[in-house]
A and B are shown apart, each in its own frame.
Chain A
Amino acid sequence: MSTAAPPADWRRLDPRTVLVTALVVAGVVAGAAIPVTLGLTRWSSLPAAVLQVLAGAVLVVGAAAGADRVRWHRTRYRVGAERVDLHTGLLIVKRRSLARGRIRTVDLTANPILRLLGLVTVRIGTGEQGSESTLELDPVTRAEGERLRRLLLERATTAPSGGAHREGELAVLDPRWIRYAPVSFVAPMLGGAAAGAVMQVSDWVGAQGDVIEWIGDRFRDTPLLWMIVILVLAALVAGVLGALGLWVEMWWNYRLEREPGGTLRVRRGLFTSRSISVEEARLRGVDLVEPLGVRLVGAARLDAITTGLAKDTEARNADHNTLLPAAPRSRADTVAADVLREAVTPTGAALTPHPRAARGRRLRWSLAAVLGPVLILTVLGALLTPVLLWIALGCAVVLAPVAVALALDAYRGLGHALSGRYLVTRSGTVRRSTAALERAGVIGWTVKQSVFQRRAGLVSITATTAAGGGAYTVYDADASEGLGFAAEAVPGLLEPFLERSGGTGATGGA
């Protein structure tokens, strides 16, 4: 078989994939070329070294482009009435086929090179675990990508009927939301990473000692404490700048839309553009996530609880199911209501608080977490050196109030309720999550009770589901009220196993 054109209904990827591969490899080669050239000048003159490196670069780029040309030649796909087929493979031809009825997601991504050429990478997924169920078309033109997306996600309009719902645009980026970027946990993490990177790079070029000495020189006349404070501040500033940059790259051009046919679509990205589609029939609810810093400034993020987001994709890109970046709480509530086609968002429902015994449990846990290390430090201090005793005292004085505050906040956050078609559970303090899970999406219950919970009359009730994290838990609810809540949430499932005793004072009996 030569370059015979494929049969009519088979299509090929865009031939410019060869150019893309050549450019990407050329970029990598260029990065490696400079140190290699410098290394070669030890043995030969500069022009000779440049010539050798150039020859090598041409060879590598040529080989990569050639391999990609072969891949392009051997790759073809077809969208049939029933199935989508993809034949591909450099050495071994792989033939893969997906039933169209099982396709759940069609995601488009484009890195800067692809965007420049008007190309996109299309991932067609069935939402099952493992990469085997995902077909990747890398790349096709943007118009073809859009065509595929529309064609494959189009269903005979099965959109759930609901009173108040909007088509079209549900949310667009408000540039003012960038103020929530620095308060996320990304900022300190990036700050730490920046400090680590400075040390690591200076270590590679053998100048770590010089860097430390230079820093020491700057602070010769300042006390140690100030030096630490200033260095931490510098790392934090670097982290904040990094967080701002990351936010802009991730969320620029953000737009959440509802398309006819019942698909939610998130588009975003400054350099790498991403388009993520969530079929509404797969949506089982939303999760309003408030990390501590973001919550303190009155904002929240909205995640989709949906079946059919492959686990490996989730791991690779944690923001895959984010519907709305951190935005003012009221805005997040409005978007949640629009997404769920409800008049009022279930995430804003009044929640049943949990018994006071749950507060005691949280206080004991967090104090134990602080006092455990303090106790060890004290014992070591008593045996070895009094310095450790002072450190232990400092830790106890500083950390104990923090622990108590977090525990009280965690208790205040606990709550659960039924709100229309949804069951709502809220928990967490560092990452508070208010999950509204569709009651019809609950596919089982797990009720757990430790000895301590039994004595305090508490239970933890977990609703298992095929969507999102697989399980959403109501922690430390009142045993009787919580079981009643679970029984009411999914009629008929828990009820047959419940024993209700009429008056107070009667025990359940076994």
Chain B
Amino acid sequence: MPQGEGTAAVLRPPRNTLNERAVGWWRTQWLLLTAAPVVPLAVLGALIGPARFWLLLPAAVLAAAGTAGAVLFPLWWFRTHRWEITGDAVYVRTGFFWQEWRIAPMSRIQTVDTVRGPLEQIFRLATVTVTTASAKGAVRIAGLDHETAADLARQLTRITRDTPGDAT
């Protein structure tokens, strides 16, 4: 990521990428999101003769845009979403247009949640959410292999349990 000329300090990218299956997971989400308006439009277009053109045209445009997005965006996201756990902190980078780096120190972690939605289960992925005492400091890693996620949650829970104090 070029940060412009003359910079003296930049945040380095976290070491790990997400699981490759996250690309498929994102694509499915994207396609489902596209199908939500396209399918009703197409069905109505097939049924209502007089308005057929004005229903099928937006359906086609949306379908084309959605498919293109489903092909391209996940590849891009896969490169920008990264994560890393060190002995001292959880470090996550997300987003491209609004890039965001989040750092939560191990000593301040309060809860570690692992969530697997229905789609994630199909792709054998999981989301790990790490919360601190701050209402605005949660760190979320979505699209991990579910075994990696379970290991990660176990590891984080153990470290947090061994850290004294109430993490505020």
A455 interface contact, C-beta 8 A = yes
Q: Which residue of B lies closest to A490 (CB)?
A: B105
Chain B residues with Cβ below 8 Å from A469 are: 136
The reply to whether A507 and B89 contact each other, CB–CB distance below 8 Å, is no
Interface SS, A side:
mixed
The reply to whether A483 and B9 contact each other, CB–CB distance below 8 Å, is yes
The reply to whether B3 and A444 contact each other, CB–CB distance below 8 Å, is no
Chain A residues with Cβ below 8 Å from B10 are: 479-480, 483, 498-499, 501, 508
The reply to whether A448 and B7 contact each other, CB–CB distance below 8 Å, is no
How long is the Cα–Cα vector from A178 to B131 in the complex, in angstroms? 43
B162 interface contact, C-beta 8 A = no
B26 interface contact, C-beta 8 A = no
How long is the Cα–Cα vector from A454 to B10 in the complex, in angstroms? 11
Chain A residues with Cβ below 8 Å from B97 are: 450-451
Chain B residues with Cβ below 8 Å from A427 are: none
Q: Which residue of A lies closest to B139 (CB)?
A: A444
Chain A residues with Cβ below 8 Å from B100 are: 446-449
Classify chain B: how many residues form its interface, as a range: 35 or more
A445 interface contact, C-beta 8 A = yes
The reply to whether B9 and A446 contact each other, CB–CB distance below 8 Å, is no
Chain B residues with Cβ below 8 Å from A450 are: 97-99
Chain B residues with Cβ below 8 Å from A467 are: 168
How long is the Cα–Cα vector from A479 to B89 in the complex, in angstroms? 22
Q: Which residue of A lies closest to B108 (CB)?
A: A443
Number of contacts between A and B (CB, 8 Å)?
147
Interface 1/0 per residue, B80-104 and A, CB below 8 Å: 0000001011010000111111111
* Interface of chain B residues 1 through 55 with chain A (CB within 8 A): 1-14
How long is the Cα–Cα vector from A510 to B8 in the complex, in angstroms? 14
A313 interface contact, C-beta 8 A = no
Interface 1/0 per residue, B136-157 and A, CB below 8 Å: 1101000000000000000000
The number of chain A residues with a CB under 8 A from chain B is 44
CB distance from B28 to the nearest CB of A (A): 27
A493 interface contact, C-beta 8 A = yes
- Given A454-B99, A484-B9, A499-B12, does the pair A443, B137 have CB atoms closer than 8 Å? yes
CB distance from B10 to the nearest CB of A (A): 3
The reply to whether A466 and B11 contact each other, CB–CB distance below 8 Å, is no
A500 interface contact, C-beta 8 A = yes
A425 interface contact, C-beta 8 A = no
A464 interface contact, C-beta 8 A = yes
Q: Return the contact of A470 from the options B2, B9, B104, B136 (Cβ within 8 A).
A: B136
Q: Return the contact of B7 from the options A307, A480, A496 (Cβ within 8 A).
A: A480
How long is the Cα–Cα vector from A92 to B60 in the complex, in angstroms? 62
CB distance from B109 to the nearest CB of A (A): 9
The reply to whether B101 and A447 contact each other, CB–CB distance below 8 Å, is yes
How long is the Cα–Cα vector from A492 to B99 in the complex, in angstroms? 23
Interface 1/0 per residue, A229-267 and B, CB below 8 Å: 000000000000000000000000000000000000000
Q: Return the contact of B103 from the options A449, A484, A494, A507 (Cβ within 8 A).
A: A494
- Given A444-B104, A480-B9, does the pair A449, B99 have CB atoms closer than 8 Å? yes
Q: Return the contact of A457 from the options B7, B86, B102 (Cβ within 8 A).
A: B7
B122 interface contact, C-beta 8 A = no
The reply to whether B133 and A507 contact each other, CB–CB distance below 8 Å, is no
The reply to whether B103 and A444 contact each other, CB–CB distance below 8 Å, is yes
B163 interface contact, C-beta 8 A = no
Chain A residues with Cβ below 8 Å from B6 are: 504-505
A17 interface contact, C-beta 8 A = no
Chain B residues with Cβ below 8 Å from A497 are: 11-12, 14, 89, 91, 101, 103
The reply to whether B167 and A443 contact each other, CB–CB distance below 8 Å, is yes
CB distance from A204 to the nearest CB of B (A): 41
How long is the Cα–Cα vector from A213 to B137 in the complex, in angstroms? 57
The reply to whether A470 and B135 contact each other, CB–CB distance below 8 Å, is yes
How long is the Cα–Cα vector from A14 to B9 in the complex, in angstroms? 64
Chain B residues with Cβ below 8 Å from A448 are: 98-101
Q: Which residue of B lies closest to A451 (CB)?
A: B97
B134 interface contact, C-beta 8 A = yes
The reply to whether B9 and A498 contact each other, CB–CB distance below 8 Å, is yes
B127 interface contact, C-beta 8 A = no
How long is the Cα–Cα vector from A446 to B105 in the complex, in angstroms? 12
How long is the Cα–Cα vector from A40 to B167 in the complex, in angstroms? 63
CB distance from A508 to the nearest CB of B (A): 3
The reply to whether B137 and A470 contact each other, CB–CB distance below 8 Å, is yes
The reply to whether A462 and B99 contact each other, CB–CB distance below 8 Å, is no
How long is the Cα–Cα vector from A467 to B14 in the complex, in angstroms? 28
How long is the Cα–Cα vector from A249 to B123 in the complex, in angstroms? 61
Chain A residues with Cβ below 8 Å from B9 are: 479-480, 483-484, 487, 498-501, 508
- Given A449-B99, A454-B99, A479-B4, does the pair A498, B133 have CB atoms closer than 8 Å? no
Task: Give me 9 other A-B pairs in contact (C-beta within 8 A), A445-B103, A446-B103, A499-B11 excluded.
Answer: A441-B168, A454-B4, A469-B136, A480-B3, A493-B88, A496-B86, A497-B101, A507-B4, A508-B7
What are 30 A-B residue pairs whose CB atoms fall within 8 Å in the complex?
A443-B105, A443-B168, A444-B102, A445-B103, A446-B100, A446-B136, A451-B97, A454-B4, A457-B7, A465-B134, A465-B137, A466-B132, A466-B134, A466-B167, A470-B135, A471-B136, A479-B7, A480-B3, A480-B7, A484-B9, A496-B86, A497-B91, A499-B11, A500-B9, A501-B9, A505-B6, A507-B4, A508-B3, A508-B7, A510-B2
Q: A-contacting residues of B (Cβ < 8 Å)?
A: 1-14, 86, 88-89, 91, 96-105, 108, 132-137, 139, 167-168
Shortest 7 CB-CB distances between A and B: which pairs?
A508-B10, A464-B137, A466-B133, A466-B168, A470-B135, A464-B134, A443-B108
